[in-house]
Amino acid sequence: MRNRSLKSVLLGLLLAGSCMLLSGCWDSLGIEDRALVLSLAVDEAPPESNKQEEKVTHIDEKPPGKMIRITAQIAVPGQVPLGPSSASSGERTQNSVWIVQVVGHSLDDALNNLQQQISDPKYLIHLRVVVISEAIAREGLDDLNDYLRRNAEVRRRTWLLVSDIPAEKVLAVAPPLERVPTLYLLSMIEKSVRSGKFPLDYLGIFWTSESKWGQDGYLPYISIRGQDKILVKGLAYFSGGRLVGTTRPLEIGAYMAAKGMDPGGYSSLLNVSGLGYVMVQTQERHTNIKVDIVEGKPRVKLKILLEGSITEQFDSSVDINSPEAVGQVERKFNEEGIKAVKSLFRDTQLKHSDIFGIGEIVRAHHKDFWKKHVHEKKDWGNIYSGIPVDVSVHMTIRRIGLKQ
């Protein structure tokens, strides 16, 4: 008798349990029903866009500032290939992503307008690249970052890029190497990090340096060349959340040398007297930054130790085949290196943008100075613009290649 009632209780439990299984996940949303935004381009909206505004998040309110135009690349389910495929380059781009353009007063306003126009709910979980045009960056990125920071879907490993041409054009670049344009852009920038063409600087790192009082952020500055090539053009450096200046490509190398970042990926062409033109490739960098307070002012001492090799020599009748000749090249390199690093310092000092993080060293090691002079982030920018910088560069050339 007891056994039977126990059995029916157990069966009842089983019934209740299996009922739960029948329902599946109550809030499941298949991947085909999501609009996965792969990349965003943010541009200034053309002046007449006020009229085509959709009034999704506001009716009469006129938020301050200029309007922005957002171009989103949305992955088309089933069309994004997972492996290599033989599709020819033409049909690829049109099929794998869907490009949507909207205007709005802010990033979220624009994304809301976008949502009003497409059926599937948008997801930023696979957002990998955000390209902003230089004009937007010069207005300031704080408002843009606010949305990206608040949204739990956005990864800290997303890349933020600044382009000197309208950002939507960068997204449209479709080289034959990848079927999804965004993924090409992403692999382009990630491979340049691996080969020493650019420091590791994804969104999270940019945010971190922008937050620090003794440091300012920088972003990759890119452009396009021809129909389908992307050029890493330099660093776009910020001060107070606004873009204030950009560098040339070789100055990325100077920056990485000043910070002692490896691997070294840049070669410099030197005009060595008597030896013609010599190309020296940097391979390893070690840097010692010291900051002392001299006469009530921080004084930066930069000691850069480099290792490299000679990769080319031209316009000369004399071969480099003696330690003396190599020493001559090294000395010339040191001279040019000091010039390059100093000029990068001077440029950033003029713009109050401490991308080297000198202020953080002062904060960490000279507590009293920091407490006395720095009360908000702006204070350090002002001090930074007037501090003396000593640079010394020591290049050691280990190899000269296969030619004797």
Please, what is the minimum distance in Å from the beta carbon of residue 340 to another protein? 24
Neighbour-count burial of 247, counting CB atoms closer than 10 A to its CB (0-12 exposed, 13-18 middle, 19+ buried): buried
Nearer to another protein, 47 or 83 (CB): 83
Full DSSP string of 248-271 = -HHHHHHHHHHHT-SS---EEEEE
What does DSSP say about strands 159-163 and 129-133: parallel, antiparallel, or unpaired? parallel
Cβ atoms 137, 180 nearer than 8 A: no
> Which CB atom, from 193 or from 325, has the smaller least distance to another protein?
193
Q: Does 117 bind another protein (CB under 8 A)?
A: no
Q: Is 34 in the site for another protein (CB under 8 A)?
A: no
For tokens 């982030």, the residue is 377
Which position among 242, 303, 365, 373 is part of the footprint of another protein (CB under 8 A)?
Answer: 365
Q: Shortest approach of another protein to residue 311 CB, angstroms?
A: 29
Shortest distance, position 212 Cβ to another protein, whole Å: 5
**Token pair listed for 394:** 């020591």
41, two tokens: 């381009």
Residue 373 makes contact with another protein by CB under 8 A: no
Examine residue 331 and tell whether it contacts another protein (CB under 8 A).
no
Smaller CB separation from another protein, 221 or 380: 380
Count of C-beta atoms within a 10 Å radius of residue 44: 18
Q: Does position 259 bind another protein by CB under 8 A?
A: no
The answer to whether residue 288 forms part of the interface with another protein (CB under 8 A) is: no
Binding of residue 378 to another protein (CB under 8 A): no
Listed in sequence order, the residues at least 6 apart from 285 whose beta carbon sits closer than 8 Å to its beta carbon are 256, 257, 260, 261, 262, 264, 304, 305, 306, 307
Pick between residue 203 and residue 329 the one whose CB is nearest to another protein: 203
> Least distance to another protein from the beta carbon of 324, Å?
41
Strands (E), 45-142: 68-75, 97-104, 122-123, 129-133
Q: Which residue, 59 or 82, has its beta carbon nearer to another protein?
A: 82
The contact set with another protein (CB under 8 A) reads 27, 125, 149, 152, 155-157, 190, 204, 207-208, 211-213, 357, 360-361, 363-365, 367, 370-371
